[in-house]
Amino acid sequence: MNTSKFTAVLLFLTAVVFGQQKITVENIFGGTFRAKGMDQMQSLKNTNQYTVLNVDQASRSMQVDLYDFATLKKVSNLIDTKNFNELAEGIDAYTFDASEKKMLIACNSNKIFRHSFTADYFVYDIAGKTLTKLLDSQIQEPTFSPDGTKIAYAKENNLYIYDVASKKSVAVTTDGKKNAVINGITDWVYEEEFAFVRAFDWSKDSKKLAYIRFDESQVPEFSMSIFHKDLYPTIETFKYPKAGEKNSVVSLHIYDAAANTSKKVDLGNYNDFYIARMQWTNDNNVLSAQVLNRHQDNLDLLFIDGNTAAAKVVLNEKDKAYVDVTDNLTFLKDNSFLWTSEKDGFNHIYVYDKTGKLKNQVTKGNWEVTSYYGFDEKTKTIFYQSTENGSINRAVYRISLDGKNKVALTNKVGTNKATFSPNFQYFINTYSSASQPTVYTLNDAKAGKEIQVIENNQALADKLKGYNMPSKEFFVLKTAKGNELNAWIMKPKDFDASKKYPVFMYQYSGPGSQQVANQWNASNDYWFMMLTQQGYIVACVDGRGTGYKGADFKKVTQLQLGKYEVEDQIDAAKVIGSYPYVDASRIGIWGWSYGGFMASNCIFQGNDVFKMAIAVAPVTNWRFYDSVYTERYMQTPQENPTGYDQNSPINHVDKLKGKFLLIHGSGDDNVHVQNSMQMMEALIQSNKQFDSQIYPDKDHGISGGNTRIQLYNKMTNFIKANL
């Protein structure tokens, strides 16, 4: 018998019987486990169709393809980049005008901050297949007027209107200046914490353009050194209001496109406030705006007259902690409106008449509405996603406007997300669970019946069988203090209950967040699976302050971020350490951003529980972080100095006993590297040994090139050496 063949067969059988393919950091971040999806899927409004951005693997060109909701068949190719030299670098984003006969196409994008970017934009005529460059320079957030004749856009802090027919632009503002005045685009802190960039909106008749003006001249500046490969580093300076410091002075304006005049909305009743949202209603002459006080515990919904710019409060919400801004404000044909609020203790849907009078609460119960999908005027039906079948799950429902006739449209336990057809006859359901890669199906919107599978990622599922992946076990962990917390645990595939295993804990813990969720994993989960292959148990616990279990559970941390969250992680580690198969002397913890803040606090304050910790891009002192986020939960340092100081890890470094790895990107515009530098200095002056890694010019995501591979290998090696 051929010895080499015999050896190969023997090795194969040994691998099948005793082993599993090993996961590596390189294949995690190299795309080995990449799932198939429907990139940039958009449901059209005028036809029962949707679009997807596809890549032709043979030609490497990108295409926006049109599909029919009823049949899922491709109707046509709207545009293919191979036909246009101008789009050689591909399509980054696309939007339609209201008629859906023209498209705005973005390419050659240049990132500014988390959401903002400049790009080259083209107007594409779908029928004529003609591509026209909008301007010779890069711009931000171009948006068609509802009648499709004009495009509003921002450039270098000013706002402009481009006439599609004449191809000429008119300046709406002229006073824009870097680090001083911004028109129609949000400042850094609004973009990061209120999560929007475009701060302008067209009236429904295309005659008026409302916009927010940011005067950030008095906001303190933050500077970062950018190293690149130049002989001398450059300095990037931008306005960043830290907790308790001055914010931008904001004002709301209405521009009349025909008269070329602007009016300022009188908001003189407010002082030191935020305009967290603004949009035109279905009334051509009524603009809405959500105005928050600086403490964010009082929100007014304003209706503003488009001619006089006079404002009136139509809805007010107050909260002893804070009021969450809603993206679910939806105006119906008669200008009555839908609104989501957690004023009864859980996030639910309410309907108000056009004067702001409450008509009825549509959804009720000890569960949360997590997404609002739309309203069918014809059947008076609302479509939404919620946690009705458990806070770690998501399901899709429909309900009548009067709160009756509720129907569950999904029945698979896990995470279901819907994209509805324009006529609400169908929806594409995106489903996954901790054990099921993402599946896309076409469903009817009446009873939720599955009509056809679009993509089930079976190829990925088959590939994963060779790795014999461990499973996530969900459970409720009860601490010694009686707190019941959602949790999951992941054990080695060859788990032996008679052995003692080290445990690596993961958490984020920020207000309203969730890490214990029944959905398909991302790269971190593959990393955790890799660690189980190397003999570790991985666990995750969502402590008090996290989301989707009601306002009381979420807001218990108010004025003292880091107190109850740290207490819960320490208490949870003690419970896990009591399991007979856990080595209680070998428990570690890890987190990124807020999770890094937590991991630092846990290794310091829980020094008798945690053997090691890794903190990536952590806040180390809430005085260093931005005003909007921090003050929402802590008020200002001037008002609440004890809350800031008692729970910031930088003030507990003298307690360090275990092994600690501190990681940060030097170009982090969000959580500044200042946080880690000052933590390092505090550790040094406390004569504490620790490990650290700075990633030059990397932002809060610490990515690009081989960065993630090097980062995760570094963390893996640190775990193996110290846990």
Instruction: Say how far residue 2 (Cα) sits from the centre of its chain.
Output: 58
**Per annotation, catalytic residue among 348, 664, 672, 700:** 700
Q: Is 700 a catalytic residue?
A: yes
Could you give the CA distance from residue 296 to residue 582 in angstroms, rounded to a whole number?
A: 44
Nearest of 587, 431, 601 to residue 510 by alpha carbon: 601
* Long-range contacts of the stretch 412-417 (C-beta < 8 A, 24+): 413/389, 413/518, 414/518, 414/519, 415/517, 415/518, 415/519, 415/520, 416/385, 417/371, 417/385
The two beta strands, 348-352 and 358-361, are: antiparallel
Could you give the CA distance from residue 298 to residue 168 in angstroms, rounded to a whole number?
A: 43
Which one-letter amino acid corresponds to residue 423? Answer: N
How many C-beta atoms surround the C-beta of residue 353 within 10 A?
14
Helices (H), 439-509: 458-465
Nearest of 254, 261, 345, 268 to residue 304 by alpha carbon: 254
Phi, psi angles (nearest 5°) of residue 81: -65, -20
Could you give the CA distance from residue 41 to residue 33 in angstroms, rounded to a whole number?
A: 22
Could you give the CA distance from residue 648 to residue 537 in angstroms, rounded to a whole number?
A: 29
Tokens 């030191």 locate to: 272
Q: Which contiguous run of DSSP H or E holds residue 532?
A: helix 523-533
Q: Is 498 a catalytic residue?
A: no
**Per annotation, catalytic residue among 668, 669, 676, 699:** 668
Q: Is 593 a catalytic residue?
A: yes
Residues linked to residue 588 through DSSP beta bridges, in sequence order: 504, 612
At 541 the three-state DSSP class reads strand
* Under 8 Å between Cβ of 312 and 269: no
**In the structure encoding, which two tokens stand for residue 423, read together?**
């006529």
Alpha carbon distance, N-terminus to C-terminus of the chain: 46
Could you give the CA distance from residue 302 to residue 99 in angstroms, rounded to a whole number?
A: 30
* Under 8 Å between Cβ of 665 and 699: yes
**Per annotation, catalytic residue among 116, 593, 648, 666:** 593
Which one-letter amino acid corresponds to residue 534? Answer: Q
Cα radius of gyration rounded to whole Å, the chain? 27
How many C-beta atoms surround the C-beta of residue 110 within 10 A?
10
The two beta strands, 537-542 and 501-506, are: parallel
**In the structure encoding, which two tokens stand for residue 652, read together?**
């507990």
Could you give the CA distance from residue 458 to residue 191 in angstroms, rounded to a whole number?
A: 38
Catalytic residue annotation: 593, 668, 700
